[in-house]
């Protein structure tokens, strides 16, 4: 809903997700949220907004930022959920910025202690692309891919060929 009003959360992380009485999820701590048209460009300095491990690369670059920053953070949240750690970690902010600028996003399939389906790994990968144009453009696209996965179909993130689609058809 927030993205439809041009509001970006800027700090999506596990600590900001609450689970309600009926299993519903709430995104809290909107203290850093801003309207996309009002976002300032962040230069590499100590005033970097967000939590290391969940910050999109464009927050440290001179490019204008938008709601795709939250999509990157959602990918990091998915990684955290499956691996119990952030996808990128470092001893200090400078080292973190260096790793992030080098596009060092780890493999979800290799780092997770559980077996991660290819579809989920591709959703993570698409969320966490260094180039925002290569990510999902809307949160609804992630939801659509998750719905496809849970229904036994190939996700759009997979860009599945005929063989993969036939395998999934057979499993359904």
pLDDT, averaged in runs of 10, over the chain (172 residues): 87 95 94 72 55 87 76 96 92 86 83 93 95 95 97 95 94 91
Location of structure tokens 């992380």? 13
Phi, psi at 27, each rounded to 5°: -95, 120
pLDDT at 37: 64
In b/e form, how buried is each residue of 93-121, taking b as 16+ CB within 10 angstroms? eeebbebbeeeebbebbeebeeebeebbb
What pLDDT is stored for residue 102 in this prediction? 84
What is the rounded CA–CA span in Å between residue 107 and residue 11? 23
At residue 63, the pLDDT reads 59
What is the model's pLDDT at position 121?
Answer: 95
- For residue 42, the model assigns a pLDDT of 45
* The two three-digit tokens of residue 2, written as one number: 């927030």
pTM: 0.88
Q: Which positions ≥6 away from 77 have C-beta within 8 Å?
A: 12, 13, 14, 17, 54
Give the SS3 label for residue 52: coil
Catalytic annotation, residues: 11
């Amino acid at each position: 809903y927030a993205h439809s009003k041009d509001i970006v959360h800027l700090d999506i992380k596990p600590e900001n997700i609450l689970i309600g009485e009926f299993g519903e999820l709430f995104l809290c701590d909107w203290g850093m949220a801003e309207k996309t048209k009002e976002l300032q460009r962040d230069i590499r300095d100590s005033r970097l907004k967000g939590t290391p491990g969940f910050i999109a690369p464009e927050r440290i670059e001179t490019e204008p930022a938008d709601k795709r920053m939250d999509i990157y953070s959602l990918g990091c949240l998915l990684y955290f959920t499956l691996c119990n750690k952030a996808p990128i970690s470092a001893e200090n902010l400078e080292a973190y910025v260096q790793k992030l600028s080098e596009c060092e996003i780890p493999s979800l399939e290799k780092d997770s202690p559980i077996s991660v389906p290819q579809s989920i790994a591709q959703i993570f990968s698409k969320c966490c692309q260094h180039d925002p144009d290569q990510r999902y453009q809307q949160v609804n696209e992630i939801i659509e891919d998750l719905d496809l996965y849970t229904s036994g179909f190939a996700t759009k993130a997979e860009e599945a060929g005929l063989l993969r689609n036939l395998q999934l058809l057979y499993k359904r």
